[in-house]
């Protein structure tokens, strides 16, 4: 029986969780002590945002677009696209990475936003045969973070494009409002760790990674921002972003289609977060998402506990979803079940650059460059 | 009232979806299974999937792929590519496909149309003709092997033969308009449509629903297939699957009578 | 339990996939023995009349099917050629039909003023059911289904009509007599409209 935080709903399925004398966890305490004081959504946030927007506009003068927005069709990136065009007056290129798992809602949402906001769209389609092989390699490795190939590809592709076309600003929908409490690395190890990706690939992959885009933490935290001057910015942190209001607005204004849970715009991620993680490892990412909403006042703890009492996947459709994932990966349902039943491994079982991440995180926090939650 | 059909046409090459321009410069579009699933969720009228490598490479249809695609379709599916025998027809239909298309095989062995129709029924035997306008005159010539081999056959004449042999539908694909999004070739459609009384579907050049509406106004009922229109978006030809919803389609697929 | 008769024709997989997704038990039946205990039957069909009748007669299931339908009054849904087979005969072929409904199958008329009519009738068309039909319940007014045929079910009496469709004139797109139901269109390939109809059939008491 897991011990649950008395303030949010994180619990001891995060094996690194620490509770204070009031039973409040370190995720919450980190938020109140470190994140909240440095998170400005009022006039200070507006000032920061105005300054940023001015820089982006100057940078984009005479060009077809002044920034790129990483767009998945999910709530965060969709709302960001709307804000960027209508509220901030930017001229973004909407940038979508197709990893082969788009849901119908995702493509509908991208289409609606691009059309109604009259924006240009650029899509990079990942080589599906290589993506499939890499995803299968991750399943075979037994680690929890089997969604790394998708995540890694998203960022690597965007950086590559930005560097190639000299785009200085990448806008992402990452935000504190719904993500201030973050997935522990035990649940989701750093997707940008190329050493781990390559090690798992070399052990379990069968196809060389010719077309698959690979990036690395040093490349995108040091080289790109400091040498090439390419910055990743998170404008949703400077506005009052209330998820339910944002969803309503998008539905009414654009015909945006919602889907059951955060990140479910990708069919794979729906399987990953809704079934693979909770069933195989006992990691329920809803706890992370709801805890973010609790500390930001968008959900009560009781509401969260009520939702958590239901399984994270739909019992009526899970067999069908399971079969679809197996079919897409070119394996049988039995083989996928074997991977589900195999012993659980972690990122520690494979090579990694974790030490660099640890050092980097400390430095960023010291310099006040990182106000996010603990990993 | 019978509606004209709005039909996405997907091309498969090396297990992946591609889109061509005038049958050249294939651009990678992604995984076929997920694309078909999305069209199914958008409740597309019908779907055509053509394996453009099979005949050129001299290989059989990819049965695993066909089975996986059929499993995602709750609308009729037409499959073509590498089909050369009645056995192929039977096997593909048993995997859950309603219609099987032949192209080169129809040109080189037209009697296959009759033999297949006898077993699976004419409604499941579809002849796909890739055509190019002849340099002189107004007629169109049928090509095979991905538009590389001229057959010497005139489209408007050959479709009559296909009909007499029992074909259920003709799909006429304009090589000149392929991937250009410059509109359908009305002259071509006129010639083929007036030559037969079996259903005709046209492919090549669609740029908008207005192109389709114009076709319905003139030729209803007619099958309207498109590739680029449903797969690309905007000036960068960004890959994004789209398809009109029921309301948008109803505006187009029945000629409005005043 | 829905029994889907596999006699070598028709999109069996499509029917079983739909019922699987609806969580309604269904199984594919290809032998006489398996058919014996059927409670509700689907008879799919694609292709020509004679070919379908030959395959059904050769399947070893014909006698049991007749017994279940005519004597035990097991509900059965014939689809496309499966529906046409329920009639006595067809213009398309020379073999006898199952004869469960006193009707004939005729070729759609393309003579005279109907000369421009394309055959096969191919595509999405409206279906107007008679009032109160359980098979068509919960289907909105603009329900449409996918048709693919050149011959139609020529009913002999009005009370056999369950639904009509217009193509060169009204024809019977769904027929019914006691426990025997037929649909000319393909519910297994008609998106959510077809799924609803198949669900309705499963829920018929």
Count of B-C CB contacts under 8 Å: 99
Return the sign of the alpha-carbon dihedral for residues A298, A304, A306, A312.
positive
pLDDT tens-place string over residues A338-362:
999 999 999 999 999 988 888 888 8
Cβ proximity of A6 and A200 under 8 Å: no
pLDDT digit string, tens, across residues C41-80: 999 988 889 989 999 999 999 999 999 999 999 999 999 9
CB pairs under 8 A between A and B: 68
CA pair distance A16, A254, nearest whole angstrom: 42
Q: What is the pTM of this model?
A: 0.93
Chain B contact for C51, CB < 8 A?
Answer: yes
Partner chains of B (3+ C-beta pairs under 8 Å): A, C
Query: Among all residues of C, which ones are annotated catalytic?
Result: 80, 186, 188
Mean pLDDT of chain A: 92
**pLDDT digit string, tens, across residues A224-278:** 888 899 999 999 999 989 999 999 999 999 999 998 777 788 899 999 999 999 9
Residue C56, pLDDT score: 95
Q: Is C22 on the interface with B (CB under 8 A)?
A: no
User: Which pLDDT score is estimated for A373?
Assistant: 76
Which of A150, A191, A195, A161 minimizes the C-alpha distance to A328? Answer: A150
ipTM higher than the 0.90 cut: yes
- Phi, psi (5° rounding) for residue A19? -105, 145
Q: Stretch B35-42: mean pLDDT, rounded?
A: 96
Q: How confident is the model at residue A71 (pLDDT cuts 50, 70, 90)?
A: very high
Q: Which residues on chain C are in Cβ contact (under 8 Å) with B198?
A: 118-120
Sort C116 into a burial class: Cβ within 10 Å, 0-12 / 13-18 / 19+.
exposed
Residue A41 confidence (pLDDT): 82
A320 touches chain C (CB under 8 A): yes
* Among chain C residues, CA nearest to B197: C118
Whether residues C189 and B5 touch (CB distance < 8 A) is answered with: no
Cα–Cα distances in Å, from C131 out to A240, B109, C140? Answer: 54, 51, 13
Q: Is the pLDDT of residue B6 over 90?
A: yes
| pLDDT, chain B, mean | 93
Quote the minimal CA–CA distance from B68 to chain A in Å.
7
Distance in angstroms (rounded) separating the CA atoms of residues B190 and B185: 9
Considering only CB atoms, A328 lies closest to which of B15, B33, B241, namely B33
Confidence tier at A307 by pLDDT (50, 70, 90): very high
| Inter-residue contact A344 to A281 (CB < 8 Å) | yes
pLDDT, tens digit only, all 205 positions of chain C: 999 999 988 889 899 999 998 999 999 999 999 999 899 999 998 888 998 999 999 999 999 999 999 999 999 999 999 999 999 999 998 999 999 999 999 999 877 777 778 999 999 999 999 888 899 999 867 789 999 999 999 998 999 999 999 999 999 999 999 999 999 999 999 999 999 999 999 999 7
Query: Which residues from chain C sit within 8 angstroms of residue B71, using beta carbons?
Result: 13, 17
Which residues of chain A are within 8 Å of residue B236 when distances are taken between CB atoms?
Answer: 120-123
CA A258 to chain centre: 17
Contacting residues of B for C51, CB less than 8 Å apart: 118-119, 121
**Interface membership of A315 toward C (CB under 8 Å):** no
**CB-based contact C95:C81 (threshold 8 Å):** no
pLDDT tens digits, one per residue of B157-195:
999 999 999 999 999 999 999 888 899 999 999 999 999
Q: Any idea which of A157-161, A186-190, B55-59, B72-76 has the lowest mean pLDDT? A: B55-59
Query: What pLDDT is stored for residue A231 in this prediction?
Result: 92
């Amino acid at each position: 029986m897991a011990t649950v935080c008395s303030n949010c709903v994180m619990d001891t399925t995060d094996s690194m969780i620490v509770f204070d004398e009031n039973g409040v966890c370190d995720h919450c305490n980190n938020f109140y002590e470190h994140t909240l004081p440095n998170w400005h959504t009022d006039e200070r946030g507006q000032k920061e945002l105005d300054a940023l927007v001015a820089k982006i506009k100057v940078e984009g003068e005479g060009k077809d677009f002044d920034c790129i927005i990483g767009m998945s069709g999910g709530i965060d990136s969709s709302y960001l696209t709307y804000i960027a065009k209508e509220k901030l007056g930017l001229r973004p290129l909407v940038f979508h990475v197709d990893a082969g798992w788009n849901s119908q809602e995702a493509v509908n949402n991208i289409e609606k936003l691009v059309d109604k906001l009259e924006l240009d769209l650029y899509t990079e389609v990942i080589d599906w045969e290589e993506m499939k092989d890499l995803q299968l390699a991750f399943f075979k490795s037994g680690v929890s973070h089997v969604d790394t190939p998708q995540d890694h590809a998203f960022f690597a592709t965007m950086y590559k494009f930005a560097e190639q076309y000299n785009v200085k600003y990448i806008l992402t929908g990452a935000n504190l409002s719904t993500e201030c409490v973050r997935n522990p690395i035990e649940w989701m190890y750093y997707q940008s760790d190329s050493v781990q990706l390559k090690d798992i690939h070399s052990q379990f992959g069968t196809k060389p990674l010719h077309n698959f885009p690979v990036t690395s933490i040093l490349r995108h935290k040091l080289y790109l921002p400091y040498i090439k001057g390419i910055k990743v910015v998170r404008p949703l942190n400077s506005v009052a972003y209330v998820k339910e209001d944002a969803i309503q607005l998008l539905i009414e204004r654009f015909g945006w289609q919602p889907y059951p849970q955060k990140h479910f715009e990708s069919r794979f991620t729906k399987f990953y977060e809704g079934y693979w993680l909770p069933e195989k490892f006992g990691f329920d990412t809803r706890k992370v998402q709801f805890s973010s909403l609790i500390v930001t006042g968008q959900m009560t703890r009781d509401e969260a506990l009520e939702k958590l009492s239901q399984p994270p996947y739909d019992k009526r459709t899970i067999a069908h979803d399971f079969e679809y994932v197996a079919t897409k990966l070119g394996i049988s349902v039995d083989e996928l079940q074997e991977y589900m039943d195999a012993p659980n491994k972690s990122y520690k079982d494979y090579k990694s650059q974790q030490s660099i991440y640890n050092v980097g995180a400390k430095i960023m926090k010291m310099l006040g460059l990182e106000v996010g939650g603990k990993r | 009232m019978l509606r004209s059909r709005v039909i996405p046409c997907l091309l498969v090459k090396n297990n992946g979806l591609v889109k061509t321009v005038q049958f050249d410069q294939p651009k990678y579009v992604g995984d076929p299974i997920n694309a078909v699933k999305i069209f199914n969720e958008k409740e597309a009228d019908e779907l055509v999937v053509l394996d453009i490598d099979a005949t050129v490479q001299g290989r059989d249809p990819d049965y695993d792929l066909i089975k996986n695609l059929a499993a995602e379709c709750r609308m009729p599916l037409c499959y073509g590519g590498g089909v050369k025998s009645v056995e192929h027809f039977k096997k593909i239909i048993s995997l859950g496909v309603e219609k099987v298309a032949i192209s080169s095989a129809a040109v080189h062995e037209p009697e296959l149309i009759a033999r297949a129709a006898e077993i699976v029924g004419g409604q499941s035997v579809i002849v796909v003709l890739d055509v190019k306008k002849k340099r002189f005159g107004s007629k169109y010539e049928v090509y095979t092997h991905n538009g590389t081999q001229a057959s010497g056959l005139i489209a408007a004449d050959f479709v009559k033969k296909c009909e007499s042999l029992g074909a259920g539908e003709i799909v006429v694909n304009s090589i000149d308009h392929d991937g250009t999004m410059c509109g359908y070739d009305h002259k071509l459609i006129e010639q083929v449509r007036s030559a037969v009384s079996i259903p005709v579907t046209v492919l090549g050049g669609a740029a908008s629903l207005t192109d389709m509406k114009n076709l319905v106004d003139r030729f209803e009922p007619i099958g309207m297939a498109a590739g680029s229109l449903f797969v690309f978006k905007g000036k960068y030809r960004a890959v994004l699957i789209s398809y009109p919803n029921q309301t948008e389609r109803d505006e187009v697929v029945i000629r409005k009578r005043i | 339990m829905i029994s889907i008769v596999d006699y070598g024709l028709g999109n069996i997989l499509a029917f079983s996939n739909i019922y699987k997704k609806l969580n309604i038990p269904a199984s594919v039946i290809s032998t006489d023995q398996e058919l014996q205990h059927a409670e509700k039957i689907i008879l799919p069909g694609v292709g020509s009349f004679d070919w379908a009748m030959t395959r059904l007669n050769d399947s070893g299931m014909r006698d049991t099917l007749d017994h279940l339908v005519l004597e035990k009054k097991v509900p059965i849904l014939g689809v496309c050629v499966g529906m046409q087979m329920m009639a006595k005969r067809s213009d398309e072929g020379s073999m006898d039909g199952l004869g469960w409904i006193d009707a004939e199958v005729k070729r759609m008329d393309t003579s005279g003023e109907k000369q421009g009519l394309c055959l096969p009738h191919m595509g999405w068309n409206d279906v107007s059911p008679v009032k109160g039909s359980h098979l068509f319940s919960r289907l909105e007014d603009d329900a449409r289904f996918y048709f693919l045929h050149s011959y139609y079910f020529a009913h002999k009496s009005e009370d056999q009509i369950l639904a009509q469709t217009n193509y060169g004139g009204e024809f019977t797109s769904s027929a019914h007599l006691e426990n025997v139901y037929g649909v000319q269109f393909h519910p297994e390939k008609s998106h959510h409209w077809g799924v609803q109809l198949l669900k309705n059939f499963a829920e018929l008491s």
